[in-house]
């Protein structure tokens, strides 16, 4: 397993991480245990979760219970900000809420410190300085090692970084955002802002929620148990299963076949080759998926191959 720096923090993370958003939702505790242990066996040390994952708290709880003594061997990233109750009162990025949310996450994760604490989404009701001062206090208290953002537009990210510099506060070291061969929108504005400031990218949906695994075929019925059939809180079908994406998949499949690579290997090795990527967040519902993702990220792609894939999916 290759290890990389997370922004300017000095924290080292495995080039392939484990996305834990399925735990407590469509992955039960014992299956999650098998997935986590397989990841550890393969050298995965970066585990990405969020307080809202697993029907509000389930993912963090499972991760904390399963890791046990192995907690010291891994880097845990979790998030705050999305609604943690039906009424929508437990959410946001205010100082008051952050201080409540972090204690709840620490308890569920059974740990004294969160390695990477991320704002899950911008909070238009709270000034960014208030959020950063709260996070800075958590870093100074030793409850958080590094902070990051998710779903934050480039302009707001630049404002946050400037605020940290102006007041000498802890600054975002990474951004967690959607990025894959099918969704490269962050390259327009967000990625350049990250490069300018030395931030790392933690890409989620690197295989487009499974669409880049090769298990889906245009015009055929969706497999039972797939996210496109089981998830109801988001329109995955409308987001991913477009004609433009199917055309790209056909081209990517042919590209891989010419080089003796599967579609999964093309997708994972391309994103792992991107210099701003610290750890590719790949979710898994079975142990064998973890192994497939780790192996795929190590597939041989030349610089010319990466450039060709960039052109094909621009």
Catalytic residue numbers read: 53
Please, where are the H alpha helices in 208-302?
227-230, 236-240, 243-259, 263-272, 287-297
Distance CA 46, CA 36 (A): 11
- Judge contact between 208 and 245, C-beta under 8 A: yes
CA distances from 78 to 29, 34, 225 (A): 18, 21, 26
SS3 of 46, please? strand
Between helix 303-312 and helix 263-272 the angle, nearest 10°, is 110
SS3 of 33, please? helix
Residue 4's DSSP bridge partners are 13
Identify which of 170, 164, 120 has the alpha carbon closest to the alpha carbon of residue 141: 170
Which of the 8 DSSP states describes residue 247?
H
E-assigned strand segments in the chain:
3-5, 12-14, 16-19, 46-48, 75-80, 114-119, 144-150, 172-178, 200-204, 280-283
SS3 of 273, please? coil
Beta strand pairing call for 46-48 and 75-80 = parallel
């Amino acid at each position: 397993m290759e290890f990389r720096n997370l922004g300017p923090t000095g924290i080292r993370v495995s080039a392939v991480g484990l996305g834990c958003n399925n735990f407590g939702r469509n992955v039960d505790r014992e299956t999650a245990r098998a997935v986590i242990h397989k990841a550890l066996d393969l050298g995965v040390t970066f585990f990405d979760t969020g307080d809202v994952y697993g029907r509000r708290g389930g993912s963090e709880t499972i991760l904390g219970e399963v890791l046990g003594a192995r907690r010291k061997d891994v880097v845990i990233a979790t998030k705050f900000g999305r609604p943690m109750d039906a009424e929508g009162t437990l959410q946001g990025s205010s100082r008051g809420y952050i201080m409540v949310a972090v204690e709840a996450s620490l308890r569920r994760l059974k740990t004294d410190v969160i390695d990477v604490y991320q704002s899950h989404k911008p909070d238009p009701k709270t000034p960014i300085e208030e959020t950063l001062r709260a996070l800075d206090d958590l870093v100074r208290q030793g409850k958080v090692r590094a902070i990051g953002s998710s779903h934050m537009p480039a302009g707001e990210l630049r404002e946050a970084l400037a605020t940290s510099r102006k007041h000498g506060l802890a600054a975002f070291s990474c951004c967690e955002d959607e990025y894959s061969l099918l969704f490269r929108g962050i390259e327009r504005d967000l990625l350049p802002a990250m490069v300018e400031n030395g931030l790392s990218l933690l890409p989620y949906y690197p295989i487009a929620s499974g669409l880049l695994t090769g298990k889906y075929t245009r015009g055929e019925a969706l497999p039972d148990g797939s996210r496109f059939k089981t998830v109801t809180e988001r329109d995955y079908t409308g987001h991913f299963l477009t004609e433009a994406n199917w055309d790209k998949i056909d081209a990517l499949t042919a590209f891989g076949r010419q080089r003796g690579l599967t579609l999964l290997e093309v997708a994972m090795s391309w994103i792992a080759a991107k210099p701003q990527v610290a750890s590719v967040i790949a979710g898994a519902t079975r142990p064998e998926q973890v192994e497939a993702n780790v192996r795929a990220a190590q597939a041989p792609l030349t610089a010319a191959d990466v450039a060709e894939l960039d052109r094909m999916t621009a």
